[in-house]
A and B are shown apart, each in its own frame.
Chain A
Amino acid sequence: MNNVKAKLVKIVGTKNFSDSPKILKAYSKDYSLAPPGMPNYVVKPKDAKEVSEIVKLANEYKTPVVPCSSGVHFYGATIPKQGGIIVDLSRMNKIFEIDEPNKRARIEPGVTWEQIENELEKRDFQVVIPLLPHSSRSVVTDYLERVFPLAVVYDYGEPLQGMEVVWPNGDIFRTGSASTPGYPDSVARGVMPAGPGLDFWRLLQCAQGTMGIVTWTNIKIEYLPKVNKFFFIPFNDISNAVEFVYRILRQKIGDECLLLNNVTLAAILATNWPQDFDKLRAIFPPWTLLLTITGGYRRPEERIAYQENALMLIKKNEYQQLNISEALPGVPGAGRKLLAMLRKPWPKDITYWEHRYKGGCQSLFFITKPIYAHKFIKCVEELAVKHCYPINDIGYYLQPIEENRGCHLEFKFFYNPDDPEEIGQVSGLYAEAAKVLLNEGALFTRPYGILANIVYDKAAGYTAALKRVKKVFDPNNIMNPGNLCF
């Protein structure tokens, strides 16, 4: 062990190494309900070379390596299950390039949402963003873990392109067209994620750090619209809401498009706690569809006009009773406010919105066909009753994906992290809901924590193949063991 320590210090320097109990403890838990697990060491490398040396060392000593990039973690993926070395990539926080013509940026994993969106905003660009990520979250990690953007117009699930990765054997490797010799000093810009030979980038997605350590990636950036309209469309029933979304997204109306229930929307918009929250969730409709229509880089008002006209024609012909408004009763200027909020991460000087209600939040999310949303909601509500969890406290979020061919459906169970009873209650509800929903057809493509066992048990054929591939890349099983099915 001392050898390991000494060698780690040699690689990263004393300043970037720690084995102090206080520091180790900070990495042993996160915002999830996953049980704690202590690492043995924490290191903060500065580049791929150092990462490579660390990984090679880990192989030599068969010591686990647990990569983490974000300042905050919600899913338990970075809690060491078998000890080992935390490789904290937060020092690797450079934005190497912003290539406007090709709509690309190249960033290290330590680059946060706050950092990238602030930088890109100066140039009228953005990385399409999921729902209010924590400002300290790593953009690279979030997209490796396949979060879904709010904007449904982009016909891709994730904007990752060519990247650099350190494989579990310590090899430094570039994927896609970033694999070109001499990159970035090359004709290739790194915009093609696929290849060479295999689609390596896919193996790194949702891998929770088990397949390698990404040390930089190219990522798509999009024009940040300057002219926008924001609509609120209330619904009492999720099925009606979903049908409307099917209708408009197939006709390519709308850019950002998401459905929130009263609880989630109130949690986001409330300023004075708890009174605003209670008031808003009482007055907000059961469901609100938030829909933006944005102006393009050229003739922005005309772009808005054709979409708005098409939307209103649908309302006139098919949804006369529907209320499509730019106002949200109860929140003056809600559209302007939300537009600014939803294109940025959550402000870092305000308690994270998921934690404002009770301090803790356990999210259960999966992918499904939107027509089944009502079925899953009903299941969860029945289980909530069973576990004595107040139904009116559950936050829902339905994110249509790519013109609503599928959706991300998320349940937020708020709880007091200092109250063991509430912890127990939410843990029990979460665990049972996961099993029931899986059997009902919920697709857990991001199997964190206890989800992993039930998912990989059911997907036996996939699990077997995945293990074979993992063995090729990580024969010593040192990359974040204990996660997924490894």
Chain B
Amino acid sequence: MAISREAYRVLESIVGPEYISEDPVDRYAYRCGPGGYETDTGFGRFMTKIAGAIIMPKTTEEVQKIVKACNRYKVPYVPWSTGFFGPRSFPYVEDAIIVDLKRMDKLEIDDKHMYAIVEPGVIASQLQAEALKRGLYIVVGGGGSQVSIVANTLGDGWSPLSYKIGMIERRMLGMEWVLPDGEILRTGSLALQDDYFWGEGPGPDLRGICRGHNGVRGCLGITTRLALKLHPFQPEKLEPTGITPETGLALPPKRVKWINFTMPSKEAIVKAMYEMSKAEVGAAATKVPLFWRDIAKAQSKEDFWARWSKANEEIVKRFFVLRVLLVGYTSEEQMEYEERVLMDIVKELGGDARPTKPTDESWIKNADSAGMWLMTGAYMSVIYVWEALDHAKVQGENYAKLKAKYTPPLMPDYRDPGWFQLGEGGHQGYTEFLVYWDPDGPDEDTHKVDRYYIETMKDDIKNRSYPSLCGPQHPLYLSGPAYGPNYHIWMLKIKEELDPNKVCHPPVPLAQDKFVEQADWMKPVKDW
């Protein structure tokens, strides 16, 4: 079965024949995986389908017409910016149409009021490059420099730089959004005037239904334009240097500096972060997992394994590196002041500054997410949570225990307690667990990874921690009753109200539920 001819003709007339295709060559080019984020999981392999067609609109008006046509002809559609975020971006039903938004690639900047208006085809490093030219900056999310800044803002969007810049939710200003049934919603200042500069209201803030900490994964319509805050940086240029693969930004030493500190314990790192937060210093503060250091130094996959195989639990236990970014936003004198305060803190806690490269390889412009696949060819993050710093510490320890039960097939990490860092001016802390396994191993290995993923949510519920991956990212009927409680009921009601024809990326937000019900290797975990 294919998309009905009537529907296809209507869709073709909206964009022109050049920008729609149902040729199998194109449809299979848009397949999910095999490789990619989460694509090698059972969820990716089991749930995703080949699209019935791909369509590429250029304007909001075209997007609206497409969505209305899909509603009329009951054609499921899936919003798509880059397709990088694994199976979340792909159809779960047959004969769906992928709405590829890459032609919508405008970027405008209001320098004086420090915001950018972007369309889904703009990626993070493009925006960061334009911001840096103006003495401004953004967070390039951990998803990587290559992500659509719109999609990443709606669903993830943080990095160690979130310590100073804050939650991504707060950085969204005026939005233009085609709701699942084709109505256009303009939020913030855009609701009242032709200006994107402000994000709130009027009155209750409907941005509340587009994000939810991890986003709604494309099931509540399509954001076609979004304004994002840009933040004051410092005036000196960060010069790109080096030849691939050893590239980095040369940092102006008196205005931007990373410093690595070795600390005597994990507790000392946590204490240092709390002290930094109270003293309100620093632009980023993160604990570095040991294997990242080996990734950074490795010349190849084999080189990584040669280094990593020398690691063990004892070494990991003793590897306490705190990495801090200082930025002289106001002046060189400011950076000097912050460095003195930082040294005071570190000295009090028994730490030591290490020689640190005067370059930035990752976080300011190039968030090095692609490197995560170097080690085994498969990667996903099972949790990434903003809560308090002590939550990050405890949750990390809980996850390490759970993860040990699934290692192998997960890559040995010698009980590394994950990555954690400071956020939002020190009011929050973050933890993330990245897992790797061999995607070309036996199926049972992948099935174990699938079950482990669900166990992390159950573990959170049991341990009373906040998993962040609520909403479509986990079975809704597992997390829903526990958190809120019953947040899932409100989410499903909103979905029903806004998408009465159920054509916007079905069956999200229930795709994970469907997977767990239907994949027979998930039966052992399905106890709710």
List B residues 184-236 near A (Cβ within 8 Å).
Answer: 184-187, 189, 191-193, 195, 197-198, 200-214, 216, 229, 231-232
A104, A192, A199, A471: the one contacting B209 at CB < 8 Å is A199
A181, A220, A462: the one contacting B461 at CB < 8 Å is A181
> Once the chains bind, are B484 and A179 in contact (CB under 8 Å)?
yes
B284: shortest Cβ distance to chain A, in Å?
14
A146, A198, A210, A297: the one contacting B280 at CB < 8 Å is A297
- Complex alpha-carbon distance, A207 and B490, angstroms: 18
B328: shortest Cβ distance to chain A, in Å?
9
Which B residue's beta carbon lies closest to that of A250?
Answer: B232
A154, A196, A461: the one contacting B185 at CB < 8 Å is A461
- Complex alpha-carbon distance, A99 and B122, angstroms: 40
- Complex alpha-carbon distance, A485 and B426, angstroms: 38
Which A residue's beta carbon lies closest to that of B111?
Answer: A250
> Once the chains bind, are B232 and A252 in contact (CB under 8 Å)?
yes
Given contact pairs A196-B471, A202-B207, A211-B204, A191 touches B388 in the complex (Cβ within 8 A): yes
List B residues 140-178 near A (Cβ within 8 Å).
Answer: 164-167, 169-170
B214: shortest Cβ distance to chain A, in Å?
7
- Complex alpha-carbon distance, A199 and B498, angstroms: 16
> Once the chains bind, are B344 and A298 in contact (CB under 8 Å)?
yes
Q: Which residues of B contact A438 (CB under 8 A)?
A: 192
B186, B345, B497: the one contacting A468 at CB < 8 Å is B497
- Complex alpha-carbon distance, A193 and B185, angstroms: 23
Give the number of chain A interface residues (Cβ < 8 Å): 97
B436 interface residue (CB < 8 Å to A): no
Surface stretch bound by A, among B112-120, B243-251, B356-364: B112-120
List A residues 444-472 near B (Cβ within 8 Å).
Answer: 444-447, 452, 455-456, 458-459, 461-462, 464-466, 468-472
B282: shortest Cβ distance to chain A, in Å?
12
> Once the chains bind, are B200 and A445 in contact (CB under 8 Å)?
yes
B113, B471, B476, B497: the one contacting A406 at CB < 8 Å is B113
B206, B385, B470: the one contacting A462 at CB < 8 Å is B206
Q: Which residues of B contact A405 (CB under 8 A)?
A: 113-115, 197, 229
Q: Which residues of A contact B204 (CB under 8 A)?
A: 202-207, 210-211, 466, 469-470, 484
> Once the chains bind, are A194 and B427 in contact (CB under 8 Å)?
no
> Once the chains bind, are A197 and B487 in contact (CB under 8 Å)?
yes
Greatest chain B CB density within 10 A among A182, A197, A438 is at: A197
A443 interface residue (CB < 8 Å to B): yes
B241 interface residue (CB < 8 Å to A): no
Given contact pairs A180-B464, A197-B470, A206-B204, A298 touches B341 in the complex (Cβ within 8 A): yes
> Once the chains bind, are B391 and A189 in contact (CB under 8 Å)?
yes
> Once the chains bind, are B113 and A369 in contact (CB under 8 Å)?
yes
Give the number of chain B interface residues (Cβ < 8 Å): 99
**Interface SS majority for chain B:** mixed
> Once the chains bind, are B205 and A196 in contact (CB under 8 Å)?
no
Contact digits for B289-316, partner A, Cβ 8 Å, 1 yes 0 no: 0000000000000000000000000000
A349 interface residue (CB < 8 Å to B): no
A266: shortest Cβ distance to chain B, in Å?
31
> Once the chains bind, are A446 and B201 in contact (CB under 8 Å)?
yes
Q: Which residues of A contact B428 (CB under 8 A)?
A: 191-192
> Once the chains bind, are A198 and B490 in contact (CB under 8 Å)?
yes
Given contact pairs A155-B166, A191-B427, A252-B232, A102 touches B186 in the complex (Cβ within 8 A): no
- Complex alpha-carbon distance, A484 and B386, angstroms: 33
Surface stretch bound by B, among A60-68, A304-312, A323-331: A304-312
Given contact pairs A189-B387, A191-B427, A472-B493, A179 touches B466 in the complex (Cβ within 8 A): yes
> Once the chains bind, are A156 and B170 in contact (CB under 8 Å)?
yes
A200 interface residue (CB < 8 Å to B): yes
Surface stretch bound by B, among A169-177, A256-264, A281-289: A169-177
Chosen A-B contacts, 6 in total, with CB atoms closer than 8 Å, are A157-B200, A188-B466, A250-B135, A250-B232, A455-B202, A459-B186
A interface residues, Cβ below 8 angstroms from B: 99, 101-104, 146, 154-157, 161, 171, 173-174, 176-177, 179-183, 185-189, 191-208, 210-211, 220, 223, 246, 250-253, 296-299, 302-303, 305-307, 309-310, 313, 367, 369, 371, 402-403, 405-406, 438, 441, 443-447, 452, 455-456, 458-459, 461-462, 464-466, 468-473, 484-485
B interface residues, Cβ below 8 angstroms from A: 112-115, 135, 164-167, 169-170, 179, 183-187, 189, 191-193, 195, 197-198, 200-214, 216, 229, 231-232, 274, 277-281, 329-331, 333-334, 336-337, 340-341, 344-345, 385-391, 394-395, 424-428, 461, 463-466, 468, 470-471, 476, 479-480, 482-488, 490-491, 493-494, 497-498, 509
Q: Lowest 3 A-B CB distances belong to which pairs?
A: A202-B208, A195-B213, A186-B464
Given contacts A253-B330, A403-B232, 4 further A-B contacts (CB under 8 A): A103-B426, A173-B486, A198-B491, A206-B200
